[in-house]
Amino acid sequence: MAELKNTVDPYDGRSVCLFCGSSDGNDPQYVAASREFGTMVAEAGWRLVYGGGGVGLMGGAARAAHAAGGRVVGIMPGFLRSRERLFDEVETVVVTSMHERKMMMYDESDVFVVFPGGIGTLEEVVELLSWKRLDLHAKPVIFLNIDGFWDGFFKLVKDTVDAGMTPASFLEAYQVVNSVAEAVELMKSAESTPHVRHDPR
């Protein structure tokens, strides 16, 4: 079992943050995609940054990346450690709050990939996109839209544009793909993007 700590080990490579559900969901495609993604991230030589859970899509991706020899770091608020099944065989950082968790996941990552998930995933990506709307970061945000899972969210964003509440340019703040292979290719295309930490949030 890996040692638990409150800081992330130094790392000079590229990292991708995965936002996704801590449940499997009703469609077996979701878990299969998470495992495929974890394996492909490891094979690409990238580190996987994720929420620290050991089940659901989170656990599927982390376990697959670890099994493929990849570097994985999970970031988990202390209060959730007694409520979730964990995966402490990889580097695990324990923080004090959900806010600190999101900040650390953000700071440690170069690219964000969003898989199907529930209200927690939605909350994470809305804040991430809000930061981008405020020009606090320019890191790529990639949605894996399995069978149109995120279509309702994209429509809501478009509705805010149509209502004059959000500028049309915001529709370029994220990219949408339909397969894990496409997500990984877009992820890898960001390798020339400078790694930016500690933006003025």
| Side chain identity at residue 58, one-letter code | M
What's the predicted TM-score (pTM) here?
A: 0.91
Range of the domain at 46: 4-188
What is residue 82's predicted lDDT score, i.e. its pLDDT?
62
Which has the closest alpha carbon to 128: 118, 148, 116, 143?
A: 143
pLDDT tens figures, 35-90: 999 999 999 999 999 998 888 999 999 999 999 999 999 998 888 766 666 677 88
Whether the CB-CB separation of 117 and 20 falls below 8 Å is answered with yes
Q: Which helix (H) or strand (E) holds 76?
A: strand 72-77
| Locus of tokens 């509440």 | 165
Q: For residue 141, is it within any domain?
A: yes
CATH code of the domain containing 45: 3.40.50.450
| Side chain identity at residue 139, one-letter code | K
Q: How many domains does the chain have?
A: 1
pLDDT tens figures, 105-151: 999 999 999 999 999 999 999 999 999 988 888 899 999 999 999 99
